[in-house]
């Protein structure tokens, strides 16, 4: 850890938490939280936060922490013993049956099709086609035609609003 980060470098990076760039300030804050867990001794007192483990130190290369006090470990050992007693063959057979059922449900769709696409195709076959709104949604339009359609709908909306006699609901010209 000393080769990776020292106190001066970390303190310089932590000062970026006041930056006006959101990405920079969030990166500095995440660096602070990382070093709160790994090595809080490198941080200044105000950045340490509440001490979870003030004597925390970085692990040496290859060092592993092994949990020795695990609650209810006996239950896990009982389950392991029951699995090795022969019920393993039954479990694998039921797993194969489940996998077969799943694949049987997927055989009507192609290799790379989502389930919703298959449902839509089935709906088209049953009803005889799509509604005009669904066709409009699917239809590929050139960008110029799309913009023209949006402009037309906007004009229609304004015209309907003027004819309805309501107050103006748009943007204010002043602020």
Specify the length of the chain in residues. 175
Q: What whole-number distance in Å separates Cα of residue 53 and Cα of residue 58?
A: 12
What's the DSSP call for residue 166? P
Ranges of each domain in the chain: 7-48, 115-153
- Residue 110 banded pLDDT, cuts 50, 70, 90: low
Q: What is the pLDDT of residue 61?
A: 75
- Whole-model pTM? 0.34
Contacts of 36 (CB under 8 A, 6+ apart): 43, 47, 48, 49, 52
> Could you read off the pLDDT of 37-55 as tens digits, one per residue?
878 888 888 887 776 666 6
Do 25 and 19 contact (CB within 8 A), yes or no? yes
> Could you read off the pLDDT of 2-36 as tens digits, one per residue?
567 888 898 999 999 999 999 999 999 999 988 88
Mean pLDDT for the stretch of residues 51-71 = 74
Q: What whole-number distance in Å separates Cα of residue 12 and Cα of residue 3?
A: 16
Do 71 and 55 contact (CB within 8 A), yes or no? no
pLDDT at 86 over 60: no
What's the DSSP call for residue 43? S
pLDDT at 108 over 70: no
């Amino acid at each position: 850890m000393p080769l990776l980060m020292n106190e001066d470098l970390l303190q310089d990076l932590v000062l970026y938490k006041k930056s006006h760039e959101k990405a920079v300030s969030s990166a500095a804050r995440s660096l602070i939280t990382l070093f709160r867990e790994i090595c809080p001794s490198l941080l200044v007192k105000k950045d340490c936060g509440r001490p979870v483990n003030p004597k925390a130190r970085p692990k040496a290369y290859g060092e592993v922490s092994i949990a020795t006090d695990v609650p209810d470990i006996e239950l896990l050992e009982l389950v392991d013993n029951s699995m090795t007693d022969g019920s393993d063959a039954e479990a694998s057979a039921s797993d194969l049956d489940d996998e077969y059922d799943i694949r049987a449900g997927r055989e009507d769709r192609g290799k790379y099709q989502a389930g919703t696409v298959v449902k839509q195709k089935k709906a088209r076959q049953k009803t005889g086609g799509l509604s005009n709104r669904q066709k409009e949604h699917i239809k590929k339009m050139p960008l110029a035609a799309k913009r023209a359609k949006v402009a037309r709908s906007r004009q229609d909306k304004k015209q309907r609003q003027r004819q309805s006699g309501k107050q103006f609901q748009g943007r204010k010209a002043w602020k």
